A and B are shown apart, each in its own frame.
Chain A
Amino acid sequence: MARRKLDEIDVSILRNLQKDARTKYSDMAAQCNVSVDTIIKRFRKLKDKGIITNTTLLLDPRKFGEEVIANFSIDVEPSSVDQVLEFLKKQNGLCFATHAMGEYDIFSIATRRNMNEMNNLKETIQSHNMVREVKTNIWVDQFLLCPQNFELEPLIEE
């Protein structure tokens, strides 16, 4: 897969927006020493190219009553991954589920109001006849999101 080349202005826009999606165009323009129009055009171009899909809020599920966050590592019968994934995606509280390669077949993340609900979810998953094993890890303390850790510099054109 070819890597998209970006220049320093594109990278600066992405870096600013990774830290704060509401950064003003004028602040980014001043930082890059270009006009506000240039920043707006570059931002639109990044969206048109599909590099930026959208801008969004970072929310804390615990403040929305989803007190328990956990990830499940799920081992399933061979060739039944898609079937189990379909089943998982219908479960309340499942934020994410994907076919993974490695120690387990499926990696998923869930949020639930309390431990009781999380246990019920685990039992529901475990009750699927194609599921062999479910391992659970409950996230404790604050989880840290660091979108700024993406490496963008290697993409800068020479």
Chain B
Amino acid sequence: MNELDTKIIDFLTENARLSFRRIASHTERSTDTIINHYKQMLDKGEIRGSTVVVDIDKIGYEGIAAFQIDTSTSDDLDSGGILQTLIEMPNIIVATKTVGDHDLLALAVIHDVKHYQQISREIAEINGVKNLTSCIWSGNEKILPKYFII
């Protein structure tokens, strides 16, 4: 990654809709150069995509819950299956396999306590889930948007 790549990322992290033409003008390069660099970073997986950041509070979500999940099997394939089920569930916005005290982590946006209980139940009922530890926090806390979009 070179200096131009870093600049492109900085501009687009602030405003992912900024036109390539505008970035070209700011960096004194051609629009084609900017497009090529952007595409290369996409191809290499450095940029995974772009998204809109919404204020969850304003669309009816009161908070975020972290679910740390223990599975009943050490089989990697099975925890992969649970991961797949998690990411297809509405309101789950981040999911990953983990090593350490738990096998999987899922972050979910929650409307209220009742909704939190409902998601907890749904996760607990996934085949292969043995145990669930969770915590919740207010939606006012933001995860820094450099890598995470909450």
Q: Which residue numbers of A lie inside 8 Å of B, CB to CB?
A: 1, 3-4, 6, 14, 17-22, 49-61, 63-64, 66, 69-71, 73, 95-96, 98-104, 107, 109, 111, 135-147, 149-152, 154-155
B15 touches A96 (CB 8 A): no
A144 touches B135 (CB 8 A): no
Q: Binding site of B, secondary structure by majority: helix, strand, loop or mixed?
A: mixed
Q: Return the 10 tightest CB-CB contacts between A and B, nearest first.
A: A102-B135, A143-B96, A17-B52, A3-B60, A21-B50, A21-B16, A137-B98, A55-B16, A100-B135, A137-B100
Interface check B51, CB cutoff 8 A: yes
- Please measure, in the bound complex, the distance between the C-alpha atom of A141 and the C-alpha atom of B45, giving whole angstroms: 14
Picked from A49, A50, A55, A137, the residue with its CB within 8 Å of the CB of B105 is A137
- Please measure, in the bound complex, the distance between the C-alpha atom of A18 and the C-alpha atom of B50, giving whole angstroms: 8
- Please measure, in the bound complex, the distance between the C-alpha atom of A49 and the C-alpha atom of B58, giving whole angstroms: 9
Between A53, A104, A149, the greatest number of chain B beta carbons within 10 A of the residue's beta carbon is seen for A149
Q: CB-CB < 8 A to B94: which residues of A? A: 143-146
Q: CB-CB < 8 A to B1: which residues of A? A: 64
Whole-angstrom distance from the CB of B17 to the nearest CB of chain A?
5
Q: Which residue numbers of B lie inside 8 Å of A, CB to CB?
A: 1, 9, 12-17, 44-62, 66, 68, 83, 87, 89-102, 105, 109, 133-138, 141, 143-149
A58 touches B93 (CB 8 A): no
Q: CB-CB < 8 A to B87: which residues of A? A: 144, 146, 149
Between B98, B135, B138, B147, the greatest number of chain A beta carbons within 10 A of the residue's beta carbon is seen for B147
- Please measure, in the bound complex, the distance between the C-alpha atom of A64 and the C-alpha atom of B146, giving whole angstroms: 11
B149 touches A60 (CB 8 A): no
Q: CB-CB < 8 A to A141: which residues of B? A: 96-97
A55 touches B83 (CB 8 A): no
- Please measure, in the bound complex, the distance between the C-alpha atom of A55 and the C-alpha atom of B51, giving whole angstroms: 6
B147 touches A101 (CB 8 A): no
B54 touches A150 (CB 8 A): yes
A58-B149 CB under 8 A given contacts A98-B141, A150-B93: yes
> 12 more A-B contacts (CB under 8 A) besides A103-B134, A150-B109?
A4-B59, A14-B52, A17-B52, A51-B58, A57-B16, A60-B48, A70-B100, A137-B98, A137-B100, A139-B97, A144-B95, A146-B95
A18 touches B52 (CB 8 A): yes
Between B60, B61, B90, B143, the greatest number of chain A beta carbons within 10 A of the residue's beta carbon is seen for B60
